[in-house]
Amino acid sequence: MATTSAGTTRRGDRSPLLVALAAAVAVPGLVLRIGGLHLSPPVDALLFGVAIIGAAFLLSWAAEAAQVDISAGLAIALLALVAVLPEYAVDFVFTIQGGNAYAQYGPTCLPPGSTEQSPCGLALANMTGANRILVGVGWALVVLLAAVRLRRGGADAGQAGGAGTSHEPGRPTTVTLLRTDSVPLVFLLIATVYSLTLPLRTSITMVDFVVLVGIFVAYSIRVAKAPAEDPDLIGPSAWVGRMDAPRRRTGYIGLFVVAAVIIVLCAEPFAESLVETGTELGISQFFLVQWLAPLASEAPELLVAGLYAWRLKTTDALATLVSSKVNQWSLLVGTLPLVFALSAGSLNGLPVDAMQREELLITAAQSLFAVSLLVTLSINVVGALSLLVLFIGQFVLAATLPAPLQELELLILSGIYVGAAIVLFVRHRHEFVRLLRDGLRTPYADLTEAK
């Protein structure tokens, strides 16, 4: 098949095969769901999880192809929002289940004498796990993969990295963002500062919905003013993006619809199968929901970011992950009390127990530290390793410390995150002031010229 001006498939282009494969891996899960079949909880969870992963890839390719038709800033925001839709779907399922349990049993969300994990707690567990994976693994992954790539590729690879990646002998590899990326960073900071108040509450309420969703709306309005740019697409997104306008729009809208159908059908049985797996195998339901479920929904986004980083398109990779974090830490967290209220038939708010307050605290503290690392619009290998090591440290300490000390562990790690963030903000106070000004006030035209 030869290349044509209309954007048909190039010779050797495997993009159609990749799209077909992403759709095909969802078929077993769809068969189970539509046929009302059940194998075993672990197998069901695996098949539904793989289906969600396939759908997430379709969503990612569709959102990237859509960049051809919309402004650059809005495209990044849309891509980030669409990329986390699987996470929204799974978390909303747990939230609805929590709301139903609240309506039946009250604030404990459990029948009297039950020793199971509270469904209300599972909703927050899924959200905090997804946020911490995105930063602790995703942001670090971009920098570390770029560093490995530069070491293997030498000077030629360093030149290919352009302005986004720099590597000098004897100095750590550094990934640099553009001044336009000040916008998502500042709105992430605003959402993070507000989220630091959540661990002080006994519930997340409709007030939080108004504030956090308001932050996301303000962010969307701001990035919509970004000028249009030609996107640099690869793989299936480039295949769709090369098509003429009618076919291109039909293509990415079709991918959106197919992916949405898969996610809607598979999110609920995936969540239920995870909980049943924990019960059947004696594995903590909380652990599976907080870490395994987000890994399934975040995997495509992390993989795409990793591929971009390996090709030294580090600025695009990190910018997309930052925007995704804005979405998850504002819109996702903000909409949970709304979904809960609708399912519980109550405006009392999503209950937050002592354990979840600690999880919210460390998630917010990690977010604050992550923003402080990028206050100069750059992050090096040392910063990336600090994110990854502190993230992994949570699991190592939890596995080695006795139960009474595990709560203390989260508080200590939260203190380390916040303390380090304050030090970095003070050390780079001049850059911090500039970041705030660029993120909130500087016209996009000026930010673009300065890049």
For every one of its 451 residues, what pLDDT tens digit does the chain have, with 9 covering 90 and above? 333 334 445 556 788 899 999 999 999 999 999 998 889 989 998 999 899 888 878 877 887 787 777 665 565 556 656 666 777 888 888 899 899 999 998 888 888 877 677 888 888 888 899 899 999 999 999 999 888 888 776 444 444 444 466 656 657 788 888 888 999 999 999 999 999 999 999 999 999 999 999 999 999 888 877 776 666 677 888 888 888 888 888 988 888 889 888 888 888 888 888 878 887 887 777 888 888 878 777 776 787 778 778 777 788 788 888 988 998 899 889 999 999 999 999 888 999 988 889 999 999 999 999 999 999 999 999 999 999 999 998 888 877 777 677 788 889 999 999 999 999 999 999 999 999 999 999 988 888 765 4
Backbone angles phi, psi at 401, to 5 degrees: -85, 145
What's the gap between Cα 105 and its chain centre?
Answer: 32
User: What is the value of pTM for the model shown?
Assistant: 0.83
Per the listing, tokens 């095969």 go with: 17
Distance CA 11, CA 130 (A): 39
Distance CA 439, CA 256 (A): 30
C-alpha pair distances (Å), 361 with each of 178, 330, 351, 392, 415:
30, 15, 15, 17, 9
Encoded tokens for 266:
């598979």
Distance CA 286, CA 288 (A): 6
CB 163 within 8 A of CB 176: yes
Distance CA 264, CA 252 (A): 18
Per-residue model confidence as pLDDT tens digits over 92-129: 888 998 999 999 988 888 888 776 778 888 888 888 99
